[in-house]
Amino acid sequence: MITSYFQAAILQCIERFAGQRSIYGIYHLLKGKKSSQTIQDGQLFDLSIFFAVFPDAKRSSIEKAINELRQYGYINKLDAEYHYHITSSGKDSLEQFYLENPLPADLDGWQFHSFAPVFWDRFTLLVQSLSNIVHGVKSFYPIQKNWNVQQWVKAYLRREHTERTYMAAKFYEELVMLLETRQPNERDIFVLKLTGSRRAGYTNEQIGRMIGIPAANVRFLFTGTLHYIVKTVLANEDKYPRISALIGDLTGLEEKPLTNSARVTLKYINDGRELPEIAQIRRLKISTIEDHIVEIAFSLKDFSIERYVSDDLAAVIIKVAADLRTKQLKEIKQQIDHTASYFQIRLVLAKMGDIA
């Protein structure tokens, strides 16, 4: 039986990947590797909610989970090494697990994986500070050691002159509004993790014991709550003026989701350079620059791939991919008699991911 969200996520990835990606593709996705391949996998197979939601996943922990799933008979090994297929009992079990343990609503790793931790670090330190202030405690040991977070909270408190008990009450109100619609477990976890003047927050394991679920699930549900909060307060800044102010400065920094290196390549492309030229200037392999272009095509809706793939060829690739119901490059390439390069197929698939 599946007992953890970690197993469930892996099983779901295997289901969606349908044998087209290896378990290490799953590993990179759950861990949140910022490579174009991983980012695209998330979008293409509609798994991007899981992007980076298990940041401390290890190869070994994935392998262990795979072994368990195999033993349960939920997955079968395919010919290609490290590739698996979900069985019908695997599908049933996954469904059953989600019935009893729904995925937290609004979980979206790809959208929020970078905001959520910063938000939490600031929020928990601010709550600790306010708690100590309203309880008349002058000095305390900060729960966040990160210098940037400390500076941020200090600056916030300096800037906001609101009377502190009033400010604390306002945070309370906003948080209650936010949490009230959540599952009981999620509410408990969030509040128990907070540190106040009279007690430090509880660890995932302690909370797990208190509410009777595994520590790893505590962490996962909590991640979901964070994503929900970030999403909700950003969309309703007037309703949550205080909590949204904790992340407001982050959203401006949200540039196009490109890796740095791809961004440089894009600059050259915009300057009118050709692919081999860029490779030469940057002293990178052509294949690396191709990776960048695929990433760019994928991330930027208005980026045209025309100069790399003709419209006709693109149409053929799209059709073949749809007919074969595959995103495996090798199969597609064979089907169209190698009239397109891997690079071209990837580009078109990247654009398709955009449409999907």
Partner 1 sequence: MILESMLQKHFGFSSFRAGQKEVIASLLGGQCTLAMLPTGSGKSLCYQLPAYIINKTIVIVSPLLSLMQDQAEQLKMRGEKKVITLNSFLSPQQKQAALKQLGNYRFIFLSPEMLRMRSVMSALKRLDIGLFVVDEAHCISQWGYDFRPDYLNLGGFRAALGEPLTLALTASATAEVRKDILEKLGLNGSNQIITSIDRSNIAITVEKVASYEDKLERVIQVASEMKGSGIIYFSSKKLAESVAAMLTEKGINDVGYYHGGMEQEQRMLIQQQFLGGQIRIICATSAFGMGINKEDVRFVVHFHLPMGMEAYVQEIGRAGRDGKQSIAILIYCEGDEGLPLRLAEQELPTDIQIIESCRFLSHHDHKPSQLPKSLQLDLMSKFSLNETQIRFILAFIKDGNPAEKAEEMRVYVQNRKLIKQDKFTAFYHWFQSSNCRRELLLTYFQEEKQEIIPYCCDNCGFSITRLLEEMPGEINQSSNGGLYFSWKKELEAILFSKRAVNDEK
Residue ranges binding partner 1 (CB under 8 A): 56, 127, 130-131, 134-136, 139-148, 165, 168-169, 171-172, 175-176, 179, 184, 187-188, 190-192, 194-206, 209-210
Q: Which is nearer to partner 1, 112 or 202 (CB)?
A: 202
Rank residues 194 and 349 by Cβ distance to partner 1 and give the closer one. Answer: 194
CB nearer partner 1, residue 150 or residue 341: 150
Q: Minimal CA–CA distance to 133: which of 175, 156, 166, 176?
A: 166
Give Cβ neighbours of residue 76 (< 8 Å, ≥ 6 apart). 70, 84, 85, 87
Q: Which two structure tokens, joined as six digits, stand for 344?
A: 């071209």
Minimum CB separation of residue 202 from partner 1 in Å reads 7
CB of 56 to partner 1, least distance (A): 7
Look up residue 309 and give its two tokens: 């793939």
Amino acid at residue number 56: D
**E strands, the chain, where?**
75-77, 84-86
Contact 69, 90 (CB under 8 A): yes
Nearest approach, Cβ of 132 to partner 1 (angstroms)?
A: 10
Cβ-based nearer residue to partner 1, 40 or 124: 124
Evaluated on CA atoms 116, 117, 122, 125, the torsion sign reads: positive
Q: How far is the CB of 224 from partner 1 (least distance, A)?
A: 16
Nearest approach, Cβ of residue 65 and partner 1 (Å)? 19
Pick 59 or 307: Cβ nearer partner 1: 59
113 φ/ψ angles, rounded to the nearest 5 degrees: -60, -25
Sign of CA dihedral 39, 44, 48, 52: negative
Q: Which is nearer to partner 1, 179 or 309 (CB)?
A: 179
Sign of CA dihedral 18, 21, 26, 32: negative
Which residues face 77 on adjacent strands? 84
Minimum CB–partner distance for residue 33 and partner 1 (Å): 13
Cα–Cα nearest to 6, from 68, 70, 48: 68
